Amino acid sequence: MQFLLFSIILIAILAINLGRNIKKLRQESQIKNAKRLRFSSLPIHYIYCFVLWSLVVSIGAALAPIGIAAKSGLFAIITVAIFFLTRLLYQKKFNSKNHIEGISKLVLSITTGIGILITIITTVSILFEALKFFKFVGVADFLFGTVWNPQMAVTAEQSVGSSSFGIVPVFLGTLLITLIAMLVAVPVGIMAAIYLCLYAKSKVRDYLKPILEILAGVPTVVYGYFAVITVAPFFKTLFAQFGLEIASESALAAGFVMGVMIIPFVLSLTDDALNSVPQALKDGALALGSTKSEMIKKVVLPSAMPSIVGAIILAVSRAIGETMIVVMAAGLVAKLTFNPLDSVTTATAQIVTLLVGDQEFNSPKTLAAFALALTLFIFTFIFNVIALIVIKNYKKKYG
């Protein structure tokens, strides 16, 4: 902490002095040449270079296995040397602007590479564990089996014959809950965005949009409690009035609450898409005699459709990957059913269930979680690729 404070103070003092030195040198050069010289970089660019190089030295000194006094002395010497070097480079008309730009590109490339590397490492890790699972269970049995019951096979040596690892009912439950969530989130989100963007007054918009977007900041565990304590009993009482029986942990309750959670996501992205439509197109449609609703249907929505489709795709991916709500509000028993009033389970809920507690990672039961994760990853990837093709076609049609 002492070294960090010392580094910041020293860099700040030298940076201020460097700025004054460069300003003085520039004035002397202009007076000497009797004309305004053209420099490749502004003084601030040289200060940026100095601060950047000094921070690199500071990090290197902090990592050095020496005492604080030695670190501070070494850092001070090298930083002062960088100060005079930067001053010299200014006199030599060194292009510090391009230097900073090059370093910025390098940093951005490294961060992008880190993101890609993390994705690859995660995928490979899941793949290797999933391949261990497929040594015990065939791929066809896993992908097309209609019974999911991985309660046996604690160790790799035990038989898995009494367990069933068919993912059809698991993914059917996932798709059912996702469909219910989209039926709630997409119409409400898009219509709310249209109202806020094109109908609401500025004051009304300033109040309503933050209130709606507060839903995005609510933890998913709170939505889970809301589904269990409020929504599920309400639906149970409601359907009982019509003589219909509904499970306490129904797909309808979980999907409805998940849709409520995704509403601000769809609303915000759709609002941005509608605002990006040029005002000239809207005014032109109104000038030709269109009503406001006709202008929205025939001009605004087609123009914003690629971005709206993209928002829906992201919302679907968000719903498929949701965990806490379905763990709390949906069931844990995989059922082959299309009935939204029945209890179903999802892939994420099963992954949590299989990995909870003290488990050995050589058990088919535990390894099944990685097979589920890999299948979910591939499914989401294929869905996103298809969606990108759809968006591209929309852009060709309406671009």
pLDDT digits (tens, 9 = 90+) for 175-197: 999 999 999 999 999 998 898 88
**Cα–Cα distance for residue pair 270/247, rounded to 1 Å:** 34
**Among the three residues 40, 64, 94, which one is the final residue of a domain in this structure?**
94
- Half-sphere exposure of residue 334: CA atoms within 13 angstroms, side-chain side: 25
**Cα–Cα distance for residue pair 121/118, rounded to 1 Å:** 5
In a domain, 255, yes or no: yes
Domains in the chain, number:
2
Residues 221 and 345 in one domain: yes
- The pLDDT value recorded for residue 366 is 83
Whether the predicted pLDDT of 25 surpasses 70: no
Which tokens belong to 264? 């601000």
Q: Which helix (H) or strand (E) segment is 205 a member of?
A: helix 202-213
More confident site: 95 or 143: 143
CA quadruple 12, 18, 21, 23: dihedral sign: negative
In a domain, 367, yes or no: no
- The pLDDT value recorded for residue 26 is 65
Per-residue pLDDT band at 256 (split at 50, 70, 90): very high
Mean pLDDT of 299-305: 85
Residues 194 and 82 in one domain: no
- The pLDDT value recorded for residue 318 is 84
We report the CATH number of the domain holding residue 218 as 1.10.3720.10
Per-residue pLDDT band at 323 (split at 50, 70, 90): confident
CA 189 to chain centre: 19
CA 381 to chain centre: 15
Angle between helices 43-63 and 68-91 (to 10 degrees): 160
- The pLDDT value recorded for residue 181 is 92
Residues 239 and 330 in one domain: yes
**Cα–Cα distance for residue pair 254/348, rounded to 1 Å:** 13
**15-29, 155-169, 180-194: range with lowest mean pLDDT:** 155-169
More confident site: 280 or 22: 280
Residues 178 and 263 in one domain: yes
All residues at 6 or more sequence positions from 107 whose CB lies less than 8 Å from its CB, including other chains: none
Residues 86 and 172 in one domain: no
In a domain, 218, yes or no: yes
Structure pTM?
0.74
In a domain, 19, yes or no: yes
Tens of pLDDT, residues 51-81: 777 777 776 666 666 666 666 776 677 777 7
Mean per-residue pLDDT of the chain:
79
Q: What is the 3-state secondary structure (H, E, C) of 33-70?
A: HCCCCCCCCCHHHHHHHHHHHHHHHHHHHHHCCCCHHH
Please say whether the beta carbons of 101 and 36 come within 8 A: no
More confident site: 130 or 76: 130
**Cα–Cα distance for residue pair 230/377, rounded to 1 Å:** 32
* Coil, strand or helix at 148: strand
- The pLDDT value recorded for residue 151 is 67
Tens of pLDDT, residues 108-129: 899 999 989 998 998 888 888 8
CA 259 to chain centre: 18
- The pLDDT value recorded for residue 102 is 78
Residues 64 and 200 in one domain: no
Residues 90 and 200 in one domain: no
Per-residue pLDDT band at 40 (split at 50, 70, 90): low
**Among the three residues 338, 356, 374, which one is the final residue of a domain in this structure?**
356
- The pLDDT value recorded for residue 182 is 92
Residues 323 and 208 in one domain: yes
Residues 186 and 293 in one domain: yes
Please say whether the beta carbons of 304 and 276 come within 8 A: yes
Q: What size, in residues, is the chain?
A: 399
Tens of pLDDT, residues 198-236: 888 888 888 888 887 787 788 888 888 888 888 888 888
- The pLDDT value recorded for residue 30 is 57
In a domain, 364, yes or no: no
**Among the three residues 94, 122, 144, which one is the final residue of a domain in this structure?**
94
Residue 164: phi and psi, rounded to 5, are: -125, 135
**Cα–Cα distance for residue pair 227/104, rounded to 1 Å:** 47
- The pLDDT value recorded for residue 34 is 47
Residues 334 and 237 in one domain: yes
Which of 73-87, 278-292, 382-396 has maximum average pLDDT? 278-292
Per-residue pLDDT band at 317 (split at 50, 70, 90): confident
* Coil, strand or helix at 219: coil
- The pLDDT value recorded for residue 180 is 92
- The pLDDT value recorded for residue 159 is 47
**Cα–Cα distance for residue pair 328/232, rounded to 1 Å:** 11
Q: Give Cα separations from 380 to 46, 262, 280 (angstroms).
A: 47, 17, 38
Q: Are strands 148-149 and 164-165 parallel, antiparallel or unpaired?
A: antiparallel
The DSSP result for 336-396, as a single string, is ----TTS----HHHHHHHHHSSS--TTSHHHHHHHHHHHHHHHHHHHHHHHHHHHHHHHHH
In a domain, 109, yes or no: no
CA quadruple 30, 36, 38, 39: dihedral sign: positive
**Cα–Cα distance for residue pair 32/93, rounded to 1 Å:** 16
The DSSP result for 8-42, as a single string, is HHHHHHHHHHHHHHHHHHHHHHHHHHTS----SS-
**Cα–Cα distance for residue pair 209/222, rounded to 1 Å:** 21
Longest alpha-carbon distance in the chain = 97
DSSP state of 314: H
Which tokens belong to 79? 């930083």
Please say whether the beta carbons of 369 and 137 come within 8 A: no
In a domain, 20, yes or no: yes
Angle between helices 43-63 and 96-133 (to 10 degrees): 40
- The pLDDT value recorded for residue 179 is 92
Whether the predicted pLDDT of 85 surpasses 50: yes
- The pLDDT value recorded for residue 117 is 92
More confident site: 9 or 183: 183
In a domain, 251, yes or no: yes
Q: Name the residue range of residue 86's domain.
A: 2-94
Mean pLDDT of 18-44: 63
**Cα–Cα distance for residue pair 178/191, rounded to 1 Å:** 20
Mean pLDDT of 90-118: 81
